[in-house]
Structure 1
Amino acid sequence: MREFTLPPALEASEPPARRDDVRLLAGTPDGVTHHRFTALPELLRPGDLLVVNTSATLPAAVRLDRLALHFSGPLPPGSDGAEDAWLVEPRLREAGATVPYPGGRCGEWFPLPGGATLTLLERQTARLWRARLDTDVVPYLRRHGVPIRYGYVGHDWPLSAYQTVFGTPESDLEGGSAEMPSAGRPFTYELVTRLVARGVHLAPITLHTGVASPEKDEPPYPERYDVPAATARLVDHVRWEGGRVIAVGTTVVRALETAVSDDGFVRPSRGWTSHVVTPEVGVRAVDGLLTGLHEPRSSHLRMLTAIAGDELLERVYEEALAREYKWHEFGDVTLLLR
């Protein structure tokens, strides 16, 4: 799709008073329509399947005097120098927010709250470093970390504002997400009940997502995921019976498309995925996507194009800009069906 400019006024600066008090823009082969998010059950059919991400959000930012350190996630086993190492993004603290930090050098170390020390090992990307903390990272973050917040959010919010109703802090896949799997945020227990009563199925996967700094989009790096056997069977059953498999978030698309085999069936799978969904690669496991609105030039837009097609996605974003939908983790939602 063509590039666009996101006006600052369309950046959601705080969570809505009610989780489900956001708008829903539906893009389907029948056209584009506008709804409240609470209308989702009526937009789906009995027999459809929503696949949700159960990853809980970590308080993944540790603040120092001048810097904030954003802990993105551990490195896959077998990576060079990866033992106990994490990807970390150092950012400068400015006017209550953070901006990219161009400095850093191999071997540089930072004293952290609670007596811990972080050492930079090697630059991984333009914004991420391989780094090692001298204690277990996840327990440390739960004691000393705060949720990652970018400049478009006016002030701090508690960690509960960054959790979804599907997030399970204690799961078989240790850890959590550096940033919230935000497509699931508008769901409430009441809405889930209405979906089930309508005959819509729900099934879990887990994918722990890393940082997605808004200033620089980069191809995804390896992230941990788990597609359980029961979810794989249900995805295959729903598709066989003519239902639609709809991913709640781009993380779910990435996990399912990693787990789909050459014969088109989804298999139980877990580990690390570097899979990138593009229009050229296409999708085989999902028929639709529920997701937030993504920044200009984001690599996620190529995934959305693979699902919805360029023409429909172009119209969806034109409507979102014209109707002043809100972007980012506390913003509005789109439903894309192919």
Structure 2
Amino acid sequence: MMISAVEPPEAHGVRRDEVRMLVASPSGVKHAHFNDLAQFLRPGDLVVVNNSGTMPAAVDGSLTVHFSTWLDDGSWVVELRPEGTEGHVGQRVSLPEGHLELIEPYEPGRLWRARVSVDVPSLLARFGRPIKYSYVPQQWPLADYQTVFARDSGSAEMPSAGRPFSPELVTSLVSAGVLFAPITLHTGVSSIEEGKPPLPERFHVPALTARLVSMTRAAGGRVIAVGTTVTRALESAPDGGEGWTDLVLGPSRPAKIVNGLITGWHAPGASHLQLLQAVAGRDLVDVAYEAAAREGYLWHEFGDSCLLLPA
């Protein structure tokens, strides 16, 4: 049985790098804690992280609005809450400052493209709070929704696979010869209907990161992606680049660059699960999920972790 994590681990006396970690490889399943990560990585492995920071993307006005991402024309993709709220073209929603107007559906039934009358980053800085869902009953500070790698604010929701890393753990891994490199992928809201493919996301793979990936693979090291966001970015632009990615990884498009994955626990049936299978294969992912369910691992952004090493 999988159980939702209802609060940050720090709230009950567990450091972020002390959450449980299931390690799945062809040799079997091992149960550890995240700060044991060095036992499962080798000198010369490259860990690629997402340095996108989490925005305080929920704002309460005449309706609650989740700001998902900004588009190239200056409009924003938004979600209206509470769940089930239906908007219509031309509808105005009052905000603590200014208003937004719905222009057209962005993803029918859920997301809208909207024109906002004020500067959104300033609005969020003054009035925003982190997006949370019903399995987390209490509101937690924005700092609890940031990873240690966060530099460039832009994600509607935390790239949560990186949350268990602490500065001390990163230092220990670097001292052991494990390499780190960043990408940026700004995540939108995660509440897309089950079974639907992920929406396009804004990303940047620096040229230096792409070179490190190539050098690591040539030297026989492993490229370990921290999260599905990193996997999507690297597989979209193996030689580096930036823009929007609509890449959908899965059985028909397996991963070609990433050969190891650190991830949280996602609901079966979600598009994230297909991406895990694209990296590690269906059999290994199924074994990991069955073992995690038996052992009561915690789901979602404040939950436990998984290291998939298919080779």
TM-score scaled by structure 1? 0.88
Q: 1:216 to 1:282 in 2, by over 3 A?
A: closer
Provide Cα deviations, 1:46-95, integer angstroms capped at 9, x if missing partner.
11000000000000000135x311010012x3xxxxx2211100011xxx
CA distance in 2: counterparts of 1:216 and 1:138, whole angstroms:
29
Matched, 1:324 2:296: yes
Matched, 1:13 2:6: yes
User: 1:1-338 residue pairs with structure 2 within 5 A?
Assistant: 10-17=3-10, 18-64=15-61, 67-75=63-71, 77=72, 83-92=73-82, 100-114=83-97, 116-125=98-107, 126-169=109-152, 175-213=153-191, 216=194, 218-260=196-238, 267-338=239-310
SS of the residue 2:268 aligns to: coil
CA distance in 2: counterparts of 1:52 and 1:281, whole angstroms:
22
Structure 2 gap segments, 5+ residues each: none
Deviation of 1:184 after TM superposition, in Å, equals 0.5
CA distance in 1: counterparts of 2:17 and 2:278, whole angstroms:
27
Deviation of 1:181 after TM superposition, in Å, equals 0.3
CA distance in 2: counterparts of 1:275 and 1:91, whole angstroms:
28
Q: 1:166 to 1:320 in 2, by over 3 A?
A: same
Deviation of 1:122 after TM superposition, in Å, equals 0.9
Any conservation in 1 of the 2:264–2:300 contact (CA below 8 Å)? yes
SS of the residue 2:17 aligns to: coil
The AA in structure 2 aligned to 1:329 is: E
The AA in structure 2 aligned to 1:197 is: S
Q: 1:191 to 1:202 in 2, by over 3 A?
A: same
Provide Cα deviations, 1:130-185, integer angstroms capped at 9, x if missing partner.
1111122222211211000100001100000000000003xxxxx51000000010
Any conservation in 2 of the 1:214–1:295 contact (CA below 8 Å)? no
Deviation of 1:280 after TM superposition, in Å, equals 1.3
Structure 1 gap segments, 5+ residues each: 1-5, 78-82, 93-99, 170-174, 261-266
The AA in structure 1 aligned to 2:199 is: Y
SS of the residue 1:311 aligns to: helix
CA distance in 2: counterparts of 1:324 and 1:287, whole angstroms:
26
RMSD: 1.3
CA distance in 2: counterparts of 1:193 and 1:205, whole angstroms:
19
SS of the residue 1:56 aligns to: strand
TM-score scaled by structure 2? 0.95
CA distance in 2: counterparts of 1:137 and 1:217, whole angstroms:
31
The number of residues matched between the two structures is 305
Provide Cα deviations, 1:203-252, integer angstroms capped at 9, x if missing partner.
00000000001764531222111111110110000000000000001000
Flag as ranges the 4+ runs of structure 1 deviating above 2 A: 214-218
CA distance in 1: counterparts of 2:266 and 2:248, whole angstroms:
16
CA distance in 1: counterparts of 2:282 and 2:234, whole angstroms:
22
CA distance in 2: counterparts of 1:271 and 1:189, whole angstroms:
30
